[in-house]
Structure formats: C-alpha cells, structure tokens
Structure 1
C-alpha cells in the first residue's frame, strides 16, 4: 500500500535557514519603531484634543483604540504564526499597522484617527511572531538572547516615542508623530521580507476563534464609546439603558462563545480555579487604578499655567513622563524576583498601599511638577511590580500545560484594566469641566486622584477576600 507523502516542512519544525545578523537587526529596528509608534500618543494627547476639538473622554479613546485591538490580537497572533509561518503573518500584520499609521497621520478628524489607531493596535502581535522566528532560526541559547533583545528594543522604543513626540509635533505637526515611525516600520519590514528566512508552518488542529475576537473587540469598543456618549451627549435615561443593554448583550455573547469554542481565544474555564480568578481580579483592579492615574497626570501637565496647571507642551509632557516610563520598565524585572521572595499577595499589598498613599497626597497638593513626576514614578513602579508578580506567581501555580492560557488571560485583563482606567479618568474630567473656561476644574482632578486611590486600596479587600476563599 502506497503511503501518502506529506511535505517535511509541514510536519517537522526544521530550521529553514540561519538567522543572519542583518535579519536580526531589521527585526530589532522594527520592534524599536513599533514601540515608538505605540507611545507617541501619550505626551501628544492634550495637543490632539485641542487640534481635533474633542473632550478628555474622547481623547482617551485615541489611546484605548490601540489597547482594545491589542487585547484581541495578542492571543490570536501566535496561533496564526504557528499555522501559516511567522514571517508570512508578520509581514501581513505590519501592512495593517503601516496602513493604520499612515491613516492616522493623514486623519482630518477624530473618527478617522480612531480607525487608524484600531489598525495600529495589530502591532501587539509583532512580539509573539518575532519570538516564533528567532526560535525557529536560532539555537536555544541564541534565541533567548534574541528574544531579550527584541523585548528590550520594544521597551526602548516606548521611551524614544515619549521623547520625540514633542519635537516632531512642534517642528512639523501632530501628523508627523504617526507618519515618521510608520515610514521606519515600512522600511524595516521590507528588509525583514528580504533577509528573513522562511519558516515552515506547523500543522495544528486548533481553530482560530474569530467569533470570540470580534465579540470581545465589540464589547470593549461599545463600553468605551458608551462612557463617552453618556457623559458628553446628555442622553435621556432610555438611551443610556439601551447602551447598557447593548454592552451586556455583547459581553454575554462573548462569554457564551468562549465557553463553547473548541479552542477559545480566552479560556474562561480557567477562571474556575481560585488562583486564576483572584489573580485576574487583582490585575484588573491594579491596572484600572494605574490607567486613571496615568491619564489624569498627563492632562494636568497640559492645563494652562495661569491657573492650577503647568502649561506644558508636548515636549515638556514627554520629559515629565519619561521617569515613569523608566520606572515601569524596571518594575517588570523586579516583579518576578519580588514574587519569588515575598509572594505575589504581599507584593500587591505593598503596591496598593504605596499607590493609595501617593494618590491621597497628590489630591491634597499638586502645585509643583516634581510632585506629579514622583507620583508617576511611584505608581508606575508599584503597578508594574504587582502585575508582574501576579503573572509570575500564576504561571508557576497552574499546570505546566496551562501556562500559556493563564498568562494570556492575565495579559488581556491587564490591557482591559488600563483601557477602562483611562476612560474613567476622562469621564471624571468631563463631568467636572468648568463651563466658563471649557477646562476641567481643579476639583475634578482631586476627585480623580482620590478615586484612583480608592480603587488601588480596594485591592486590599480583594486580597483578604480571595485569601479566605482559597483557604475554604
């Protein structure tokens, strides 16, 4: 009986070619440019709000559009890369990101800019795809070093974006902060296309959970748009109720699809484990509070200096935010060590106390720029250490075969928490806007800081409750 031949490239992960220094360099430049494109919006957000004539709550959507797409793309990109080849999927994904960057750079209004940001959110998938490529084309030791290099350059790109957004926006226009990094992405992708060896796909029976991805993105976008609409449009009660019903329906549909899917994007059955649902709840609370703090601080830097603000431009805001970005990057390496030595819950307790105390002090006094910079450093470090400790602790607590599912669920929760925190911060400022000046009142910022502190402090209650539940 004659056997059916199967191409070796499908059944065996044989390395199709050695990864050259040029290909690795192009992959690194691509990561650097992607990190830059992702971070240029933060210091430029007050400028974008003024240029487009939108409220802080609508401005928060500009950042959240990328986060929402990232939350959806992150779990899917690795599966696509395994199935069709990392290089092939990476190139197509970068085409989407490039289209989004150019669209945002040419955007005449907020809806077009939001569409560009949604497309740019696909950049999150570049990291797992890069990991696939280096693992297939380098030996174990070399692949670990290459993965570290790619992650480091992506993080460094975030700092570069924070610094260059101001000079670009003030020297050219705000359109340039999107166009220039996108040009580098296009060039780096062209080099990757030419130099990167083709990697063989891996045969997989797992299906891509497209319905789950669509419903999750729809739920998050409906929630963000709903918050903006409710605060800014003066809707009647029945319209607000209709929005709430729509969000609830989308969320329920997503849960139903994920529970029935053979290969769900987010395996909700993992939440039945106490260690998993408690880690997700703590991650959500911590990141929601941090998202509020981040949004409120960058808005306060931009408030005119003739009142209670500092009148900082995009360059100044970038410089003020840089120490916090460095603290956040350092916290990722400290979180795992702290979790191993003290335990994730102890780390969360300390981070919650630090954040709550910082926000209480900031609500009482915020008259000097160094106070805001210090608050950003403390909260960024606390949130980073706590969420990384939870991630590391959970990864070592679940079964080895469920590590990817568990960490993926926490990453998605982290993104959702930050996005919701940003949006709630915007809603608080809109609700406290002074009709005479069109600017948020100082009391609105104080309310936001107190609210963020209370959210952070609530994680202490979660730690206590989940500890009792785990013991039971």
Structure 2
C-alpha cells in the first residue's frame, strides 16, 4: 500500500514527478536537520530531568513528594501554552524567529530552574522552560511534516527518535553526577541550547503550505472535518496516555507480580529504549508503506503486547514490545493529519497540545482506575485503551478515504 496514492490524471508537461515537493528551496539544509535532531535530544532530556532531581529538590526546598512533582506539571502546562502560542504566530512570524525564541525561552527557563532561590520561582522557571519546549516541539514537528515531501513521515520518525535519546541520556546524566548536582546539569542543558541558534540560518524562513503529495483521494468531506479532527485528537490523547501509563506503572506492576525492584527498573528502561529504536526502524518502512497501514499495525501490535503483559512470565518482554509498537504513532500520524485536513491549519497544534494534555491526565486517571481494580490489572486496563486507539485508526481510514472519480 503506497503512502501516496495519486489521482489518475495526465500530468502537464511542466508538472513535477510524483512524490516530489513543488518548491525548489528546501525547508532545511543538512546542518539544520542535524541541529533540529540535537534540539529534540535536548527537549527529551529536559522533560526527563525533573523526575530524577526530585530527591534533591525535596531536600533543598523541604517539599512533599506531590509538591516536588509539580515541577514536571508546570513544564507540561508551559508546553501546552507554548504549542498554542507559537501556532498563532506560525505563518505570521518567520520560522527562524519562532524557533530562536523557543530555544532562548527554554535556555532561560532551565537556567532559572537551576538557580531559583525558592520553589515558587523554580516553578515559574519550569513553566518558562516548558513554553520554549512547546514551541520547539510544535515548530519542528510542523516543519518536518511538510518539509520533506514523501519523506516527511520517515524524517519525523527520525526526529522524534532523538527525543527518546535525550529522555534516556537525561536521567543517566543525573544518575552519574548525583541528584544533588541537578543545578549544574540544568545549567549545562541551558548552555547547550545556544549553539543551535547559529544553525537556524539553514531553516527556510517561510515554509510553503502543505502541497505536492496531498492527494485528493484522502481528503475528508467538509461536513466530516470536525469529526475527523476529534478522532485524531482522541487517538493522540489515548496513545500518549498509554505511553505515560506504561512508563509510570510498569515498575509497580512487575514488582507486584514477583519481579525484583532492579529487574523492574531495568525492564522499564528497556521499554523507553525500544520506543527510540522503533522510530529509527520505521523510518525506512515509512518510505514504502502508508501512514494508515503503519499506525494500524502499531495499534494492533500494542494491544496484543499489552494483553501478553498480563502473563507474568512474559510481562517484561511484552512491555518492550509495547514500546516498539507505540513508537511510530506520534510522528507518523502528523503527515497523515496534514494530508487529510489541509483546510484545518491549526490541526497539528491541536493534536500536539492534546498529546501533552494526555500525558498529564494519564497519571491521575489510571491511578483512579487501579484503585478500583488493583495493580495486576494495569496491562488489561491499558489494553482496553489501546483497543480504542485501534478502533479510532480504522474509523479514520474509512472517514478520510473517498473513491477516485
């Protein structure tokens, strides 16, 4: 199944060949692509630094565990605000300026968090860092989704795989130097943002509108546009909820069914590693298969692995499988969304913001469900959510496909 079905019309003599973009100037130069991947390593590391720093934060500011956890919550709130704010500027302000201001906000917030003399100022700094985080997350995902023609899905998976690299390296760095030295780590992180500003000259200042490989055969009817957007948002909220749910509850579940704390922690690290590996692996696959096919297989595989995770002997391996299958959904869905809803310019911002909200809401929602049913039901609860993701994907395939005249 090709990722780019084209209408059966005779092309004009001057038309570009299929699966090529209609603009001549690339959105990114090669150094800018490398810098963008480095930027995603940094935002992945930033998001993952707050948790390992909690013991030192509690000691320094005299915080309860729940209050110390507000650092990450403030970061996510800032992230959602950053996505929505910079979406309003997208197309009105140059891409370079949007990305530059995002890197500067993230650097200032990270430095402020490191140097804050009290907890309220630290939370404000985390909010500021999250604002820049959201601008980078949205800006680069949006530009990668339209900037590489038929390679956009592959490039988005590579970009987001670097987020996973950062999420693995961040806690490892805190672990190596000790949580008490978290200010130095946040300061190093803040300084690492600044060289990326020099590479923004390689980003096209005004990216073209989505075109080229936007086939008429996969554009939904206007009357169904709201429904399509709603189901896309649902898919993103739920799959990020599964991602956060496994990451947060896998250690507890494995310990409950008889694994040691060390083995449970290692298995959870493998889960995050497999998410990163999965995005690199799917990049060449995305050049040959459609986004719809990839996401369908991903949701089906994720559901099967979550069901297998209910079997104690298979649980650690099944959770690794969940990481592998869930990996492509976020980056692969964005080009599909842009192709099927070109009328809705803000669709990308909506689903990215929704995915962040899903990560925030997953913890309390899953925690309440576990209170009712017990820790052993964690994989089954998540499998039910994954089944809903699969149903949403199949619905979107039907809703966004029309017959060629």
Of 412, 429, 442, 2:353 maps to 412
Query: Residue in 1 aligned with 2:77?
Result: 68
Query: Residue in 1 aligned with 2:233?
Result: 280
Query: Residue in 2 aligned with 1:161?
Result: 170
1:184-263 mapped onto 2 (5 Å cutoff): 184-189=192-197, 191-192=198-199, 196=201
User: Is the Cα–Cα contact under 8 Å of residues 39 and 161 in structure 1 kept in the other structure?
Assistant: yes
Q: Post-superposition shift, 1:28? A: 5.3
Mapped to 2, the partners of 1:203 and 1:391 lie a distance apart of 16
Of 322, 327, 335, 1:379 maps to 322
Of 293, 304, 324, 2:271 maps to 324
1:40-439 mapped onto 2 (5 Å cutoff): 40-45=49-54, 48=57, 54-77=63-86, 79-108=88-117, 110-121=119-130, 122-127=132-137, 129=139, 153-170=162-179, 173-189=181-197, 191-192=198-199, 196=201, 273-297=226-250, 310=261, 321-332=268-279, 334=282, 342=293, 344-345=295-296, 347-358=298-309, 360-361=310-311, 374=317, 376-387=319-330, 394-396=337-339, 398-402=340-344, 405-424=346-365
Mapped to 1, the partners of 2:388 and 2:45 lie a distance apart of 37
Q: Post-superposition shift, 1:275? A: 3.8
TM-score of the two chains, using structure 2 as the length reference: 0.65
Mapped to 1, the partners of 2:392 and 2:144 lie a distance apart of 43
Q: Post-superposition shift, 1:97? A: 1.2
User: Is the Cα–Cα contact under 8 Å of residues 45 and 169 in structure 2 kept in the other structure?
Assistant: yes
- The count of aligned residue pairs is 357
Label 1:146 to 1:275 Cα distance change in 2 as closer, same or farther (>3 A): closer
Label 1:75 to 1:462 Cα distance change in 2 as closer, same or farther (>3 A): same
Mapped to 2, the partners of 1:187 and 1:327 lie a distance apart of 29
Mapped to 2, the partners of 1:278 and 1:92 lie a distance apart of 32
User: Is the Cα–Cα contact under 8 Å of residues 56 and 427 in structure 1 kept in the other structure?
Assistant: no
List per-residue Cα deviations over 1:174-222 (Å, max 9, x = no partner). 2233222112223543x458xx379656999xxxxxxxxxxxxxxxxxx
Query: Residue in 2 aligned with 1:453?
Result: 380
Label 1:51 to 1:331 Cα distance change in 2 as closer, same or farther (>3 A): farther
Larger Rg: 1
TM-score of the two chains, using structure 1 as the length reference: 0.57
Q: Post-superposition shift, 1:465? A: 9.1
Query: Partner of 2:181: helix, strand, or coil?
Result: coil
Structure 2: any 5+ residue segments left out of the alignment?
1-22, 210-221, 400-405
Label 1:338 to 1:63 Cα distance change in 2 as closer, same or farther (>3 A): farther
Of the two structures, which has the highest relative contact order with CA contacts closer than 8 Å and spacing of 6 or more? Answer: 2
